[in-house]
Amino acid sequence: MSARAPVQTDAAPGAIGPYSQAIAAAGLVFTAGQLGADAASGALVEGGAGAQADRALQNLAAVLDAAGTGFHRVVKTTIFLIDMGDFTEVNDAYLRHLTPPYPARSTIAVQALPKGARVEIEMIALAGGAEEPSES
């Protein structure tokens, strides 16, 4: 088994540079940042930061699924925003996709993002266990 295994899925936009959608290594899955772009066309979705965050999270779900894991195994999230005024709208989208216990998270304001995006999100998850845990 390779020390680093790339993760690739057509259910999320492909890399727009020399990087992988994710890398599985040392029992973890490290995703690249995902924009709120359509998987087929690569175009950003319309509707502002909340819509872009929602699509970015759908893309991340697809990448994590391709790696054999899911949101319930995410331990760290980093969100990049071009405007902190979008924080509440992006947070609302985040709450629609993730459930407690929430991962540790950082939200960082940046000057610009690729393709003129308003938000980019990356995650680190425990590998394996793609199925949702059963309630006991």
Q: Which of 1-10, 40-49, 77-86, 93-102 has the lowest mean pLDDT?
A: 1-10
Q: Is residue 135 part of a domain?
A: no
In a domain, 86, yes or no: yes
Residue 88 confidence class, pLDDT cut points 50, 70, 90: very high
Share of the chain residues as helix, strand and coil, in percent rounded to the nearest 5: 30, 25, 45
What CATH number did the domain enclosing 23 receive?
Answer: 3.30.1330.40
Contact 78, 118 (CB under 8 A): no
Span 14-32, mean pLDDT? Answer: 94
Contact 37, 82 (CB under 8 A): no
For position 102, what pLDDT does the model report?
Answer: 97
- pTM of structure: 0.92
Residues 112-123 have pLDDT tens digits of 999 999 999 999
Domain that includes residue 41, residue range = 5-126
pLDDT(41) > 50: yes
Say how many domains are in the chain.
Answer: 1
Reported as type and span, the H/E element at residue 123 is strand 119-126
